[in-house]
């Protein structure tokens, strides 16, 4: 083959593909014609001149103008990637995994190369790139991780931060970091790309980098509001789809909903309703789009609408039901109607009680604008907002708060420390996080031993930062050899981390819970959800448990719930859900990963495969740091005890105590919580560790395991230090435990 830049002129002379030396396919030329019609092509020369003349550049353009797919290719054409014999790459970041995967596939097609070779992608736990790769799409989080081992990002010649308007946590950190890197690497170039209007803010932040605007090619979009607030946006959305399909001229529909379960549910209901209408209406294809959808399914959004059933019959329609992904990250051509219920799932964090959760909350006006814009890409369109015009004007915030103001920052702070940024207070954040949130993060890392009392990264912290996991889980992994159970802890971590979900709309979780009044005011430091309470949407908040993000290895089809529950029960471990997950993993391996075993036992094979893959990767990090792989003898009474102790060594800050009144209180924060109904315990343990805190009308703790009070004072005495403990029942119990320990020591001494 022809190396990068190698026999370039020869290849060009022969009209061969510059990147792999092969003749171009017909498809290449077909797509090229289409590409040339994209708005960014009008400004190709202008862009390349600006890139040549400046180190950083800001590019703003409507969604669909060709930024993500075309700009990196323009860069490749113009920039020499060989530097003193060293091959360098172009990076393009995406906040969303789905976008990184989908766009890289498309660009590989456009360049007529194989995905994973010249064009690749990299997302957490999946790297599809090779030594040949010259253009890599990667999540912003992955680029941040790369910076940890390659602080000057020397692999790259040009870095494109795409979807900058999304203001994800990782993108915001990259902003500050890259500003620093650019100073140290005059040869590096940065392009910041964004869809909406905050361009001036970016420009000010990047000290006057030139701003290039790509005029959109937007057709007018007519906006409709509802007269009265809708009681149930899901039902209203489905009703609107059906009405459009019956009454409106041809054109595809895009519906914005908040999460996988809702979306799958809506797709089924839409299909059913339209089928019931018989052949007076055209055929439809309802396609879901959300982040955990397998790549092959994602591709379906680009397929055309179905043809008429019989010649001359009513035309078919494609209906894409999507999360926020379709707002700006992915562009689907042919959309003429947009349905916008006005909600999205958003992260909120309350540092006071250290709870981060995803809440379904109203979107911002900027989001609403973006959503309606999706209807006018190829012809004039219509947008149906399922809320009142008054709500739009009075209740929606102008912009979405950046994620950094709504997140738990423990992981980010660890990353920054590892990157050598010690002075967090003076780090150049575009929007500095709340001091309380930073304090909380430092405190958590200090308790975990990742930072010393001066706030410096410890050896432990350094190793922990290598794992792409929450600090608690990393800590549990790092200390697990000391508890002689690193094999098992690896499996449990993998089972907890694989964020893959069921396709069927089943769940162990109770349906969305309606909460009256505003829980947001208490929980949300930036008052994001106080808007919910005031909102004319009606004073109701839908809280979505974090179930949409947790690995669910159990399948529970509606038609076989009893059998599924029985199957799950055979894996149940009376001491806790973590151990149940371990049992499932072991059974899967003992049955040689057999798909029919999975099917018969209501185990989701995809979740298991994913867990296995995650485990492999964590294992690699473990061996790099010589963390020994070991297990306690299975027949030993200590087998499960050791595992539970190792988990506690990571999660000692996520403990709840059973009060005499019969409910649980989280330790130190004293929040009332309930064991999630999905737990498999056969008793109510006095102390439990939990994996997550699920916010609904009742607060649940989910994935829980029984631990012993004695272990708390043995394993985490610095956290269970009574001088630093609010008055409560748990404190009195701990006092007794300390006294008992003291007495045992005395007795021992006296016996000697
Ligand atoms: P922007 O980043 O400015 O929003 P993109 O570069 O993502 O724009 O998209 C430009 C165009 O590329 C879209 O309008 C669409 O026609 C086409 N496109 C992008 N991805 C795909 C895909 N996977 N399949 C088919 N067409 C695609
Ligand atoms: Mg884009």
Q: Of all protein residues, whose CA lies closest to atom 17 belonging to ligand 1?
A: 331
pLDDT at 550: 41
Atom of ligand 1 at shortest distance to CA of 69? 6
pLDDT at 618 over 80: yes
pLDDT at 628 over 70: yes
The model's pLDDT over 23-48, given as tens digits with 9 standing for 90+, comes to: 999 999 999 999 999 999 999 999 99
pLDDT at 145: 93
Distance separating alpha carbons of residues 489 and 480, to the nearest angstrom: 7
The ligand whose atoms approach the alpha carbon of 295 most closely is 1
140 Cα distance to chain centroid = 11
Ligand 1 probe mutation, 40, 42, 60, 66, most atoms within 8 A of CB: 66
Torsion over CA of 396, 397, 398 and 400, rounded to 10 degrees? -120
The ligand whose atoms approach the alpha carbon of 66 most closely is 1
Query: Among all chains, which residue has been given the structure tokens 């990250």?
Result: 329
Residue 704 in contact with residue 664, Cβ under 8 Å? no
The ligand whose atoms approach the alpha carbon of 161 most closely is 2
pLDDT at 696: 63
Nearest to 645 by CA among 703, 576, 587: 576
Query: Sheet holding 126-128: strands in order across?
Result: 126-128, 119-123, 135-139, 89-94, 156-161, 189-194, 56-61, 211-214
Share of the chain above pLDDT 90, in %: 66
**Confidence band for 201, pLDDT divided at 50, 70 and 90:** confident
pLDDT at 526: 25
Residue 278 in contact with residue 331, Cβ under 8 Å? no
CA of 197 to the centre of ligand 1 (A): 20
pLDDT at 12: 60
Q: Of all protein residues, whose CA lies closest to atom 7 belonging to ligand 1?
A: 68
Residue 734 in contact with residue 725, Cβ under 8 Å? yes
CA of 193 to the centre of ligand 2 (A): 8
pLDDT at 527: 27
Atom of ligand 1 at shortest distance to CA of 162? 2
CA of 328 to the centre of ligand 2 (A): 6
Helix ranges, 660-721 (H): 709-715
pLDDT at 431 over 90: yes
Residues with CB under 6 A from ligand 1: 38, 61, 63-70, 102, 106, 302, 331, 333
The model's pLDDT over 360-408, given as tens digits with 9 standing for 90+, comes to: 888 999 999 999 999 998 899 999 999 999 999 988 888 888 999 888 8
Atom of ligand 1 at shortest distance to CA of 62? 3
Atom of ligand 1 at shortest distance to CA of 34? 16
Atom of ligand 1 at shortest distance to CA of 102? 23
Torsion over CA of 44, 48, 50 and 55, rounded to 10 degrees? 140
CA of 333 to the centre of ligand 1 (A): 8
Q: Of all protein residues, whose CA lies closest to atom 23 belonging to ligand 1?
A: 106
**Number of Cβ within a 10 Å radius of residue 574:** 13
Q: Of all protein residues, whose CA lies closest to atom 5 belonging to ligand 1?
A: 66
Q: For residue 227, what are its two tokens? A: 């007269």
The ligand whose atoms approach the alpha carbon of 370 most closely is 1
pLDDT at 406: 85
Distance separating alpha carbons of residues 441 and 351, to the nearest angstrom: 9
Atom of ligand 1 at shortest distance to CA of 106? 23
Ligand 1 probe mutation, 32, 62, 106, 166, most atoms within 8 A of CB: 106
Cα three-residue angle 215-221-223, rounded to 5 degrees: 135
CA of 500 to the centre of ligand 1 (A): 26
CA of 64 to the centre of ligand 2 (A): 7
pLDDT at 356 over 50: yes
Mean pLDDT on 322-344: 93
Distance separating alpha carbons of residues 392 and 418, to the nearest angstrom: 43
CA of 164 to the centre of ligand 2 (A): 10
Full-model pTM: 0.82
Atom of ligand 1 at shortest distance to CA of 65? 3
CA of 358 to the centre of ligand 2 (A): 25
Mean pLDDT on 286-300: 87
pLDDT at 195: 86
According to DSSP, the residues that pair with 514 across neighbouring strands are 542
Residue 478 in contact with residue 627, Cβ under 8 Å? yes
CA 512 to each of CA 16, 217, 616: distance values in angstroms, whole numbers, following the listed order:
56, 39, 35
Ligand 1 probe mutation, 69, 289, 326, 328, most atoms within 8 A of CB: 69
User: H helices then E strands: how many in the chain?
Assistant: 29, 25
Atom of ligand 1 at shortest distance to CA of 328? 4
**Confidence band for 82, pLDDT divided at 50, 70 and 90:** confident
The model's pLDDT over 655-708, given as tens digits with 9 standing for 90+, comes to: 999 999 999 999 998 889 999 888 889 899 999 999 988 766 678 888 999 999
pLDDT at 500: 30
Mean of the per-residue pLDDT values for the chain? 87
CA of 447 to the centre of ligand 2 (A): 41
**Confidence band for 88, pLDDT divided at 50, 70 and 90:** very high
Q: Of all protein residues, whose CA lies closest to atom 14 belonging to ligand 1?
A: 64
Atom of ligand 1 at shortest distance to CA of 40? 3
According to DSSP, the residues that pair with 658 across neighbouring strands are 664
506 Cα distance to chain centroid = 21
The ligand whose atoms approach the alpha carbon of 105 most closely is 1
Atom of ligand 1 at shortest distance to CA of 71? 6
**Confidence band for 297, pLDDT divided at 50, 70 and 90:** confident
CA of 39 to the centre of ligand 1 (A): 12
Helix ranges, 288-398 (H): 295-298, 325-328, 365-373, 389-394
CA of 69 to the centre of ligand 1 (A): 6
The model's pLDDT over 514-558, given as tens digits with 9 standing for 90+, comes to: 222 222 222 222 222 322 222 222 222 323 233 333 447 888 777
pLDDT at 165 over 50: yes
CA of 499 to the centre of ligand 1 (A): 26
pLDDT at 124: 87
Ligand 1 probe mutation, 33, 42, 64, 302, most atoms within 8 A of CB: 64
The ligand whose atoms approach the alpha carbon of 94 most closely is 2
CA of 71 to the centre of ligand 2 (A): 10
CA 741 to each of CA 688, 722, 723, 734: distance values in angstroms, whole numbers, following the listed order:
21, 14, 17, 10
pLDDT at 693: 83
Ligand 1 probe mutation, 121, 331, 335, most atoms within 8 A of CB: 331
Q: Of all protein residues, whose CA lies closest to atom 25 belonging to ligand 1?
A: 302
Residue 512, φ and ψ in degrees, nearest 5: -45, 140
CA of 621 to the centre of ligand 1 (A): 36
SS (H, E, C) 81-129: CEECCEECEEEEEECCHHHHHHHHHHHHHHHCCCECCCEEEEECCEEEC
The ligand whose atoms approach the alpha carbon of 162 most closely is 2
ipTM associated with this complex: 0.98
CA of 481 to the centre of ligand 2 (A): 44
The ligand whose atoms approach the alpha carbon of 103 most closely is 1
The ligand whose atoms approach the alpha carbon of 331 most closely is 1
Atom of ligand 1 at shortest distance to CA of 377? 14
Query: Sheet holding 343-350: strands in order across?
Result: 343-350, 355-362, 540-543, 513-516
**Confidence band for 93, pLDDT divided at 50, 70 and 90:** very high
CA of 81 to the centre of ligand 1 (A): 25
Per-position DSSP letters for 4-31, written without gaps between them: TTTTHHHHHHTTB-TTT-PBPPHHHHHH
Atom of ligand 1 at shortest distance to CA of 105? 23
Distance separating alpha carbons of residues 370 and 362, to the nearest angstrom: 14
Q: For residue 348, what are its two tokens? A: 């909120």
Mean pLDDT on 413-424: 91
CA of 632 to the centre of ligand 2 (A): 50
H helix or E strand, kind and range, residue 253: strand 252-256
């Amino acid at each position: 083959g022809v190396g990068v830049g190698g026999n370039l002129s020869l290849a060009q002379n022969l009209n061969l593909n510059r990147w792999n030396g092969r003749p171009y396919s017909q498809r290449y030329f077909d797509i090229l014609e289409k590409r040339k019609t994209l708005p960014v092509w009008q400004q190709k020369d202008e862009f390349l001149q600006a890139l040549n003349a400046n180190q950083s550049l800001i590019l703003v353009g409507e969604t669909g103008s060709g930024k993500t797919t075309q700009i990196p290719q323009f860069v490749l054409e113009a920039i020499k990637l060989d530097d003193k014999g060293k091959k360098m790459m172009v990076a393009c970041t995406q906040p969303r995994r789905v976008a990184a995967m989908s766009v890289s596939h498309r660009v590989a097609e456009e360049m007529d190369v194989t995905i994973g070779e010249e064009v690749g992608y990299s997302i957490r736990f999946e790297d599809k790139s090779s030594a040949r790769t010259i253009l890599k799409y990667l999540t912003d989080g992955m680029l941040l991780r790369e910076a940890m081992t390659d602080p000057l990002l020397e692999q790259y010649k040009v870095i494109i931060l795409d979807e900058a308007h999304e203001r994800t946590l990782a993108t915001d950190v990259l902003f500050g970091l890259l500003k620093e890197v650019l100073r140290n690497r005059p040869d590096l170039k940065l392009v910041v790309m964004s869809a909406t209007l905050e361009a001036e803010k970016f420009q000010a932040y990047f000290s006057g980098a030139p701003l290039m605007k790509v005029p959109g090619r937007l057709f007018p979009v007519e906006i409709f509001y509802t007269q009265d607030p809708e009681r149930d946006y899901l039902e209203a959305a489905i009703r609107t789809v059906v009405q459009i399909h019956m009454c409106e001229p041809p054109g595809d529909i895009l519906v914005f909903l908040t999460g996988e379960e809702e979306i799958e549910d809506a797709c089924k209901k839409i299909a059913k309703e339209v089928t019931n209408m018989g052949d007076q209406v055209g055929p439809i294809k309802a396609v879901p789009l959300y982040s955990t959808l397998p790549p092959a399914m994602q591709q379906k959004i680009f397929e055309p609408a179905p043809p008429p059933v019989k010649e001359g019959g009513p035309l078919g329609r494609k209906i894409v039901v999507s999360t926020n992904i379709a707002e700006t990250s992915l562009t689907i051509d042919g959309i003429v109607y947009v349905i916008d219920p006005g909600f999205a799932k958003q992260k909120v964090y309350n540092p006071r009680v250290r709870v981060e959760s995803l809440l379904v909350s109203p979107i911002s006006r900027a989001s609403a604008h973006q959503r309606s814009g999706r209807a006018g890409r190829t012809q004039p369109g219509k947008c149906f907002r399922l809320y009142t015009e008054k709500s739009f004007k009075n209740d929606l915030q102008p912009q979405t708060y950046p994620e950094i103001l709504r997140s738990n920052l423990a992981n980010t702070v660890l990353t920054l420390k590892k990157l050598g940024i010690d002075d967090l207070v003076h780090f150049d954040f575009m929007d500095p996080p709340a001091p309380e949130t930073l304090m909380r993060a430092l405190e958590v890392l200090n308790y975990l031993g990742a930072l010393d009392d001066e706030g410096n990264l410890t050896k432990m912290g350094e190793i922990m930062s290598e794992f792409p996991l929450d600090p608690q889980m990393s800590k549990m992994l790092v200390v697990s050899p000391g508890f002689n159970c690193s094999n098992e802890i690896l499996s449990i971590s993998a089972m907890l981390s694989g964020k893959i979900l069921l396709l069927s709309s089943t769940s162990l979780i109770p349906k969305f819970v309606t909460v009256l009044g505003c829980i947001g005011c208490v929980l949300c430091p930036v008052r994001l959800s106080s808007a919910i309470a005031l909102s004319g949407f009606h004073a109701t908040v839908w809280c979505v448990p974090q179930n949409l993000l947790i690995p669910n290895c159990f399948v529970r089809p509606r038609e076989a719930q009893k059998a599924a529950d029985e199957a799950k029960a055979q894996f149940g471990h009376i001491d806790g859900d973590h151990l149940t997950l371990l049992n499932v993993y072991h059974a899967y391996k003992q049955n040689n990963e057999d798909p029919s075993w999975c099917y018969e036992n209501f185990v989701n094979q995809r979740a298991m495969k994913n867990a296995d893959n995650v485990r492999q990767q964590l294992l690699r990090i473990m061996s790099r740091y010589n963390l020994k792989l070991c297990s306690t003898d299975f027949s030993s009474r200590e087998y499960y005890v050791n595992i539970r102790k190792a988990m506690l060594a990571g999660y000692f800050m996520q403990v709840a105590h059973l009060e005499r009144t019969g409910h649980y209180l989280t330790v130190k924060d004293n929040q009332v919580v309930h064991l999630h109904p999905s737990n498999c315990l056969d008793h109510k343990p006095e102390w439990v560790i939990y994996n997550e805190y699920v916010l609904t009308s009742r607060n649940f703790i989910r994935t829980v395991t029984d631990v012993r009070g004695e272990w708390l004072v043995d394993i985490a005495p610095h956290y269970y230090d009574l001088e630093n403990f609010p008055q409560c029942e748990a404190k009195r119990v701990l006092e007794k435990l300390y006294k008992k320990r003291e007495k045992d020591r005395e007795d021992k001494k006296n016996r000697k």
